[in-house]
Amino acid sequence: MRVCVIGTGYVGLVTGACLAHIGHDVICVDNNEEKVKLMKSGQSPIFEPGLSEIMQAAIQTGKIEFSTDLAAGVAHGEILFIAVGTPPLPTGESDTRYVEAVARGIGNHLNGGYKVIVNKSTVPIGSGDWVRMIVLDGIAERQKTLVTAGGVAEEERLPEIAYQFDVVSNPEFLREGSAVYDTFNPDRIVLGGNSQKAIALMKELYTPIVERQYAEDKSLPPVPVLATDLSSAEMIKYAANAFLATKISFINEVANICDRVGADVTQVAKGIGLDSRIGNKFLQAGIGWGGSCFPKDVSALIHTADDYGYEAQLLKSAVTVNERQRLIALEKLQQVLKILKGKTVGLLGLTFKPDTDDLRDAPALNLIEQLNRLGAKVKAYDPIVSQTGLRHGISGVLVETDAERLADGCDALVLVTEWQQFSTLDYAKMATLMTHPVIIDGRNYLDPETMVRAGFQYVGIGR
């Protein structure tokens, strides 16, 4: 099938590359010329395991193209994915101006032939009908321009074009760091829409994935496909992320109680996770959740509830717990080192999670800000940030090139991101390089006994 993906961030680029990999003809459109030039050369502008390899293979087979030409993309695609960003506004609601601009642009360029316009961006509930309205506005604008220019008789083409598209909501459930894997091995595919024709085309698009042709385990049964109305599909995305964020806040709350009563939250999490009603995922206590999805989506759902006269108290509490949890590592540093002014603290990891270069709303940024405020010197080592030289506006921190340089002269280390590489560092040597060999394990990732044998004073979260 012919596909156009508009927007090449984490969601758009992964979606486009993976659809090309399974055999569809894809054009990815972005208005950033430098980014498009980079992607044409086979380089990914984001770090995502396996993505560059899939992109390069699809370029070689001619299954994927990159362009700044929206008109060409719209003309090419039977299915048009809107995958631009919807960042949070200060109020907590989603900024939908990029979605609006794309929808209007699609309307300006529709030229006959049935199209399915797919909301892949995480958009406020009710956006499916809103996008349809904006596309129609774009069609009307073009019609008005043509009439004014004398190129077409009034009302001659608008009815013909206006009803040859449908809007579908197809929320993504990709995890940064494993987005390619998640695309080929999804738990479910959600399709929201009011047109059976549009839903049928989307099912055809995803058939190779539904049938596990590219799955890690091809013997599994077909991927469940849930067809809903537009609003329910949009709500599913928000509800899923809000639930996972709340689950993390819950186990962090339990961890803080464990700290006070002498229980070990890792054992508690294992015990409750064996209950099939609860499950063991997202029960890792630590210094809180961050990234581009959980904070934005939970805030957007809270704001939507407020708009409709309901106070989402549980979700607000999950956010409050998370904000407090980010300061837990700071409290533990103060308990061990007392005064932090004049001390040197090293952060193991900067990104909000491993296997990504994403620093959006990363807990490390809060730690850096607070440590600087208290007069500490802050150093950091991150396998991606240190290697690529990415800074993303980071200030107040010296980024080291390896873990031993980080440890040299530090009064304490804080493990912020559970990169796999951090499980095999030479901690015994790092301890000898430190002024005070203290480590705050902000993810409960390391083995306490191993760290003690290496010469560290080990402090976990809720352990």
What is the pLDDT, as a whole number, of residue 391?
A: 54
What is the pLDDT, as a whole number, of residue 169?
A: 97
What is the pLDDT, as a whole number, of residue 368?
A: 97
Contact 103, 135 (CB under 8 A): yes
Nearest to 189 by CA among 202, 175, 176: 202
CATH number belonging to domain 326-459? 3.40.50.720
What is the pLDDT, as a whole number, of residue 460?
A: 98
Q: Which CATH number fits domain 2-228: 3.40.50.720, 3.10.580.10, 2.70.70.10, 3.30.43.10?
A: 3.40.50.720
pTM of the model: 0.91
**293 catalytic residue (yes or no):** yes
Same fold: 2-228 with 326-459: yes
What is the pLDDT, as a whole number, of residue 280?
A: 97
Boundaries of every domain in the chain: 2-228, 237-324, 326-459
Nearest to 415 by CA among 357, 345, 355, 339: 345
Q: Which CATH number fits domain 237-324: 3.30.300.20, 1.10.3470.10, 1.10.1040.10, 1.10.10.10?
A: 1.10.1040.10
Question: Average pLDDT of each block of 10 consecutive residues along the chain (463 residues)?
Answer: 96 97 98 96 93 96 98 97 92 91 95 93 89 94 76 53 82 93 97 97 98 96 97 96 98 98 98 98 97 92 95 98 96 97 98 92 95 98 82 81 97 98 98 98 98 98 96
Q: What is the largest CA-CA distance in the chain?
A: 84
Active-site residue (options: 4, 18, 293, 410): 293
- What is the SS3 string spanning the chain? CEEEEECCCHHHHHHHHHHHHCCCEEEEECCCHHHHHHHHCCCCCCCCCCHHHHHHHHHHHCCEEEECCHHHHHHHCCEEEECCCCCECCCCCECCHHHHHHHHHHHHHCCCCCEEEEECCCCCCCHHHHHHHHHHHHHHHHHHHHHHCCCCCCCCCHHHHHCCEEEEECCCCCCCCCHHHHHHCCCCEEEECCCHHHHHHHHHHCHHHHCCCCCCCCCCCCCCEEEECHHHHHHHHHHHHHHHHHHHHHHHHHHHHHHHHCCCHHHHHHHHHCCCCCCCCCCCCCCCCCCCCHHHHHHHHHHHHHHCCCCCHHHHHHHHHHHHHCCHHHHHHHHHHCCCCCCEEEEECCCCCCCCCCCCCCHHHHHHHHHHHCCCEEEEECCCHHHHCCCCCCCCCEECCCHHHHHCCCCEEEECCCCHHHHCCCHHHHHHHCCCCEEEECCCCCCHHHHHHCCCEEECCCC
